[in-house]
Amino acid sequence: MGGGIHMSHITIQGGSRLEGTLAVQGAKNSVLPILAAAILHPGRTVLRGCPHLSDVESSIRILRHLGCRVDWEGGDLVIDASGLSRWDIPDHLMREMRSSVVFLGSILARTGWAELSHPGGCELGPRPIDMHLSALRQLGANIREEGGFLRCTAQHMTGREITLSMPSVGATENAMLAACGAQGETVLVNAAREPEIADLQAFLCGMGCQVKGAGSSTICIQGRQPTHDVCHTVMPDRIVAATYLAAAAAAGGEIELRQIQHSHLSTVTAALHAAGCQIYSGPGQTVLRSEGRLHSAGTVRTAPYPGFPTDAQAVLMAALLRGQGATVFVENIFENRYRHVDELCRMGADISVADRVAVVTGVPRLYGADVRATDLRGGAALLVAGLIADGTTRIGDIHHIQRGYEDPVRDLAALGADIALEEPPPAAHQ
Ligand code: UD1
């Protein structure tokens, strides 16, 4: 992911059916908090199946800045946090991605100090961190907010019951990490129940921390230092899986996804089934068959897990653009998560948006166009739309897509899509 990334494009010739089998990459939303958690232990962490993503690279830059040694060994990422020597994250690293804020909990737990700026990323509307800060303050952290910077001290954090006002994924993770460094027991009430939080718990327990309850709304953490090195396999990415299922649903064909936990996808597969796809599952495997003639999926409301994931809203919407009838989307998690709609409309889609509701009415044809990824999942929606558009779709600003998809060109080409990465010519020597 070197220079020129902002000028690269993905081009797709629509019209191919998708056929074949794909192993799904490790989950971005699981590995990012795990990378933050790795610093709790002054020793070695091995992450198996760590996806190669620009957000992972951003986390690696933070880890190295803090004094950790980080090396790729094939598909494994090896982190040695024994030499951690700093507790600050400079502004330019914080701005690279929003989930950098989860380092706050782990830096405080390990060192008792932290200094960082507000995280980047306002692409989905305002993304406050008030719940993160409130949870850490309740554990005893002293946090001063000055001119966009957070200066924190937490020499003596004490476990207690903390009730989140809503089940924020990031606030749950931050509180779990900080609580590992507190004295005594912390009970998190109204915690987020996403599978990635259960993966974080599995990782922490692998290090010798005592955490239980993740996956339910009450999580108990006994403050204690990790006791040993850990080797952890990152869970499969349910949103990447949802993207490829949506792609095959739209394009028609039959695909099999491996290394995936079907239960994590039940609301997505239910919507695709309602729209006319056949779906089968076995251990670690999901098969989708589609004639490529979808109909309405009814009303799709995004909600915290186990509800329909907001991260799969855009790709499902794209899959339904040529379906028969209208599908209504209600986005309940983020205020501004329809930025892909204007790009899809450039391709001939019929979508009307009012506040949090989008109504998609199927059209007979979509047309290839020059479009831009507006954000990570909105960019993935353009990939899906390109597969069912007449002619060539050329997608720009693909660095958004590369934040969360290891290699969508490789994956979709393996399934038979006519897709290519178009890189700018090397800069001429002056
Ligand atoms: C995580 C995921 C993201 C997903 C989202 C919801 C990662 C790296 N990202 O993001 O892909 O779309 O969960 O499933 O795992 N909020 C506040 N105050 C806070 C925190 C959150 O008001 O202190 C609001 C947010 O603005 C948003 C809602 O709560 O409207 C949900 O956000 P949250 O669950 O925290 O999402 P993230 O952890 O940012």
- Whether 122 is a known active-site residue: answer yes
Query: What is the best residue among 98, 199, 310, 333 to mutate for testing ligand 1's pocket, by most ligand atoms within 8 Å of CB?
Result: 333
**CB 66 less than 6 A from any atom of ligand 1:** no
For the chain, 430 residues long, give each residue's pLDDT as a single digit of tens: 444 556 899 999 999 999 999 999 999 999 999 999 999 999 999 999 999 999 999 999 999 999 999 999 988 999 999 999 999 999 999 988 888 999 999 999 999 999 998 876 545 556 789 999 999 999 999 999 888 889 999 989 999 999 999 999 999 999 999 999 999 999 999 999 999 999 999 999 999 999 999 999 999 999 988 989 999 999 999 999 999 999 999 999 999 999 899 999 999 999 999 999 999 999 889 999 999 999 999 999 999 999 999 999 999 999 999 999 999 999 999 988 999 999 999 999 999 999 999 999 999 999 999 999 999 999 999 999 999 999 999 999 999 999 999 999 999 999 999 999 998 877 755 4
Query: Tokens 């305002």, residue?
Result: 126
pLDDT of residue 1: 40
Q: Which atom of ligand 1 is nearest to the CA of 126?
A: 26
**Ligand 1 centroid vs 127 CA: distance in angstroms?**
7
**Ligand 1 centroid vs 28 CA: distance in angstroms?**
14
**CB 171 less than 6 A from any atom of ligand 1:** yes
**Ligand 1 centroid vs 255 CA: distance in angstroms?**
31
SS3 letters across the chain: CCCCHHHCEEEEECCCCEEEEEECCECHHHHHHHHHHHHHCCCEEEEECCCCCHHHHHHHHHHHHHCCEEEEECCEEEEECCCCCCCEECHHHHCCCHHHHHHHHHHHHHHCEEEEECCCCCECECCCCHHHHHHHHHCCCEEEEECCEEEEECCCCECCEEECCCCCHHHHHHHHHHHHCCECEEEEECCCCCHHHHHHHHHHHHCCCEEECECECEEEEECCCCCCCEEEECCECHHHHHHHHHHHHHHCEEEEEECCCHHHHHHHHHHHHHCCCEEEEECCEEEEEECCCCECCCEEEECCCCCECHHHHHHHHHHCCCCECEEEEECCCCCCCCCHHHHHHHCCCEEEEECCEEEEECCCCCECCEEECCCHHHHHHHHHHHHCCECEEEEECCHHHHCCCCCHHHHHHHCCCEEEEECCCCCCCC
Q: Which atom of ligand 1 is nearest to the CA of 125?
A: 26
Structure tokens at 422: 């178009």
Closest residue by Cα to residue 51 from 68, 69, 76:
76
> Which member of 68, 122, 180, 220 is catalytic?
122
Contact of 15 with 390, CB cutoff 8 Å: yes
Between CA 148 and CA 24 the distance in angstroms is 38
pTM value is 0.96
Which residue lies with its CA nearest to atom 19 of ligand 1?
129
